[in-house]
Amino acid sequence: MKFAVVVFPGSNCDIDMFHAIKDELGEEVEYVWHDVKNLDEFDGILLPGGFSYGDYLRSGAIARFSNVMQEVVKAAEAGKPVLGVCNGFQILLESGLLPGAMRRNESLKFICKPVQLKVENNETMFSSEYSQGEVIMIPIAHGEGNYYCDQETLQQLKDNNQIVFTYDNNPNGSLENIAGIVNEKGNVLGMMPHPERAVDELLGGADGLKLFKSIVKQWREANVINA
């Protein structure tokens, strides 16, 4: 499986994402600059954390207009897995690939620490290697991770089982403790915690590795079926 790690001006978690794919999974991966106009050669798209374009206006608000985002939308519509972490999640929200918006943390402070997450839905291409209800430890690092949506959207997320991860102890005020959601199709995941920073026990834990293993497993199974 071949992944693209999209790099925006201000991305700072792209190297972590690259390491998770290349060194921990042993899969093919390349950095892709934000002005690229074709992602057809890639099987999966990864939007890393950081401060794209300095987080001016709003986090992710400028990055959504980058040339590469047209290709990310195209990949999502084609059913390819698209993962946005932290700033990547914010970009997915701004681009309309996921519903809702991000607000400043309730404390109005930047938060950087490991947090416990609960796996609310293990039937997605990003979470199949986890057990339903499994509690995992994944680090966060954000100032605008307070997820919000209107009540109609929230009900849709619940009805469609789109809430994949929730916080055990909400660190930022996020609505319904939401830490990660998928689109209705199930191939686009946005999450604030950083699974790429939890892929090796040397880093303090490897609970994030199952997420990347899930993507590869589901992709391979789908391609065997379609072959």
- Which residues are identified as catalytic? 86, 194, 196
Residue whose tokens read 């339903």: 132
Indicate the helix (H) or strand (E) that contains 165.
strand 163-167
Residue 5 near residue 21 (C-beta atoms within 8 A): yes
Indicate the helix (H) or strand (E) that contains 136.
strand 135-142
**Who contacts 204 (Cβ-Cβ below 8 Å, separation ≥6)?**
114, 139, 198
Residue 189 near residue 82 (C-beta atoms within 8 A): yes
Torsion region of 191: left, alpha or beta (phi above 0 gives left; psi -120 to 50 gives alpha): beta
Torsion of CA 43, 3, 23, 31, to 10 degrees: 160
What gap in Å lies between CA 167 and CA 119, rounded to an integer?
9
